[in-house]
Amino acid sequence: PASLRLTAKHPAVYVLNDVAKDKRYARWPPSVREILRPNMFGQISFCRKNILTMLFVVDPASSAGLSVLAYLHSLYANGAPIRFALVLAPGAANRADAPRAPASAPARVPYARLAPLSEVYADASWSAPTIAAMEAAAMDEASTAGEAVADGGTHGAAVAAAEDEEVALGVLLTKLFVFCRQKIGRGAAIRFLGMQREVREVSGFFGPAEVSPLTVEHLREAFMQVAGGRGASGDFSAAQVFRGLESGELTDYDDAAAAGLDFLADKGLRDTPVLLMNGLLVPIDEASLEQAVMQALSAEVHELQSLVSRGVLTDEQEDTYAAIAAATATFPRFNADLLVSADKIKMSALTPHAALLSPSMPWLSKEAPALLHPISLLLVLDLCVP
């Protein structure tokens, strides 16, 4: 939806930087009116205010989610004054899929008799050679289907085991990220996101680097490079922390790892990854990730320029995110059932008979007969009355 925004306040949201306070953005002008300044190179004019917030909601257990994390880190590393936030929901991609049939599900028999008609089937006509041949063929087909289901069950069990391993890696990545964010700092959390990609890259001589699938060893190497042998204050051992989180003995971050799925449920979101650009809902995918994000950024800058030029967004406002939400269509929860495509909206012209009622309902029509005004009517009827 092009104009639907969601409130993003939730315990699962982790803000990674602060444009208004971080030293790395000190060179940018502090006024929001800077966004109105024309740029000779056609680029976006930024300011040192949190007027642009990119919240990425990803499943770190999926390849698309890992690609989004790498892209987020690259955007941050380039130094653009954009506030970045992140929601990690391990297992969300698998949960969005259609539920799988259990491996032990019985085969569907294509030929069956109805129990109440057993006396009919006992008739001699059912013993004819043609009928017997049909029954034998049906039983052979059912047996073949049963073998196929058995093979499919084995394959399905293998797929489920692989998915469970991916989810376990996503959960571990989430816990490590939350640990870095809470115990070391925002900078360490962002470095960990970039490092988990860097340790998986295999350089090529004649092409771009290849990226290996995520493993526990990759997470261990990335975490050790970020956290080091000891913590920033010397109160923890990175190796012991990793072993505790990997084995499950350290449960301090279990609730944080599960909060991402709660965010999706609370906000009514189903698919991941997704971008909330100042709350604006932007579906993204791995194939067109950069294009979708840049288009959303450009569109949001135009919206902000309109708010600034109309005086809705000013330098005196401390919570610019709340000011933008108050000035736009922002909702606490997403509901796809409320969004109707244009081809499903039916418009009815005002008939002469209905036009006779307009003088009695000035709120329904205006004096200018040439103007058409879309009107929604809620009719309350008693169908028992003629």
Question: What are the tens digits of pLDDT across the range 178-234?
Answer: 999 999 999 999 999 999 999 998 876 666 778 889 999 999 999 999 987 554 455
Which residues of the chain carry a pLDDT beneath 70?
A: 1-3, 40-42, 95-162, 204-207, 229-235, 337-342, 344-378
Cβ(52)–Cβ(297) below 8 Å: yes
Please state whether the peptide bond connecting residue 90 to the residue before it is cis, i.e. omega within 30 degrees of 0. Answer: no
In a domain, 307, yes or no: yes
Domain for residue 39, yes or no?
yes
Say if 148 falls within a structural domain. Answer: no
Residue 309, domain member (yes or no) = yes
Residue-number span of the structural domain to which 287 is assigned: 5-101+159-342
Residue 266 falls within a domain, yes or no? yes
Residue 383 is assigned to a structural domain of this protein: no
**Cα separation, 297 vs 292, whole angstroms:** 9
How many domains does one find in the chain?
A: 1
154 in a structural domain: no
* Per-residue model confidence as pLDDT tens digits over 40-58: 666 788 899 999 999 999 9
Check: pTM over 0.75? Answer yes or no: no
Residues pairing with 280 in the sheet = 5, 277
Q: How far apart are CA 358 and CA 174, in angstroms?
A: 61
| C-alpha closest to that of 11 among 186, 269, 250, 260 | 260
- The sheet carrying 14-15 orders its strands as 14-15, 83-88, 53-58, 274-277, 280-283, 5-6, 330-331
281 CB-near residues (< 8 Å, 6+ apart): 1, 4, 5, 6, 274, 334
Q: Alpha carbon 178 to chain centroid distance?
A: 19
Instruction: Give the per-residue pLDDT at 10.
Output: 93
